[in-house]
Amino acid sequence: MAVLEVDALTKRFDEVVAVDNLSFAVQPGEIFGFLGGNGAGKTTTLRMVLDIIRPTSGRISVLGAAPDRRQAAAIGFLPEERGLYDNMTAIDTIVYFARLKQMDGGEARKHGMELLERFDLASRAKSKIGEMSKGMAQKVQLATALVNHPQLLMLDEPFSGLDPVNQGLLEEEILRASKRGAAVIFSTHVMQHAERLCDRLLLLRKGAKRFEGTLDEARAELPAAIEAIAKEDIIRVAGIASAEPKEQLDGEWRRWSIRLDPGVSAGEVLERCTTSGVALRRFEEQRANLHDVFVQLVGGEENR
């Protein structure tokens, strides 16, 4: 059973459609990337999953039931805008949020201390949040999301504002949660994190889904480009849509930028070159990265 299922979800704010007929599902143990530009509807969607705001139409199922605060015990959430009570100590903050999620006080304190230990903050457990650096406070807030061993972990722009060391720590926590079977859904602007972590991705543009699938499937959305060093006879190989000479090398050899016909793979073209005796000094497939896919599918987005 999917931990989170969203079906034909729509949210309107007056005339603005923030989320438009969105459907997706996240399975246990899966790391699901929620990508989109500013105002794409990511935060609105997460707020609807948390029952902070209600959808205009559509259906959400969290652990098989409609969103409700009673499911808070199974959910961990790290909002995009971080903040904690300045006057509370780190451990009291973690225990407070754990208890709001129906966790036993003693258990919350024990696991809270374990998390602080892991985040190298055990010595600051009784320090007030207001006395901590921003990075430390962010780790405490991450601990409030993890303390209840959530089955659904939702992280809204979790890497923003973190230094590289803490980004690595967060990646470890995401992988750790996934390994113990939690469904992890996070939104981000940083494509490298999504490429490294996500099993599947969803790209949003103006509230509507533009893509859902694996990283490879995302890359396949853009036609592959090939850089080859060959003689002029390469342009006659079947499956090549266009070949543009880039540089004249010695003799008849040239550097070519080649685009393939839709549905034709680089491997097929290489095979045809070999069988038809087209000489090659270099044949390199340049696959689109997630950044290119993002720019292609989501680019040009206007802020809401």
Smallest gap from residue 283 Cβ to other proteins (A): 52
182 binds other proteins (CB under 8 A): no
53 binds other proteins (CB under 8 A): yes
C-alpha to C-alpha distance for 184 and 156, rounded to whole angstroms? 11
Residue 173 or 292 having the CB closest to other proteins: 173
C-alpha to C-alpha distance for 226 and 236, rounded to whole angstroms? 15
DSSP SS3 for 289: coil
Residue 45 or 144 having the CB closest to other proteins: 144
Strand ranges of the sheet holding 152-156, from the earlier edge strand across to the other edge = 75-78, 152-156, 183-188, 31-36, 200-205, 208-213
User: Out of 2, 17, 63, 100, which residue is the one contacting other proteins (CB under 8 A)?
Assistant: 100
DSSP SS3 for 119: coil
106 binds other proteins (CB under 8 A): no
Q: Are 170 and 162 in contact (CB under 8 A)?
A: yes
Among the candidate windows 84-92, 175-183, 198-206, 253-261, which touches other proteins by CB under 8 A?
84-92
Q: What angle do CA 102, 103, 108 make, to 5 degrees?
A: 150
Residue 240: name the closest of 216, 215, 257, 222 by CA.
257
Among the candidate windows 31-39, 68-76, 119-127, 187-195, which touches other proteins by CB under 8 A?
68-76
C-alpha to C-alpha distance for 140 and 134, rounded to whole angstroms? 10
47 binds other proteins (CB under 8 A): yes
Q: Which of residues 130-159 bind other proteins (CB under 8 A)?
A: 141, 144
Q: Are 223 and 260 in contact (CB under 8 A)?
A: yes
Smallest gap from residue 164 Cβ to other proteins (A): 24
Return the residue matching tokens 């060093």.
229
Residue 141 or 188 having the CB closest to other proteins: 141
183 binds other proteins (CB under 8 A): no
176 binds other proteins (CB under 8 A): no
Which residues of this chain interact with other proteins, rule CB under 8 A?
47, 50, 52-54, 56, 69, 72, 75, 77, 79, 81-88, 96-97, 99-102, 141, 144
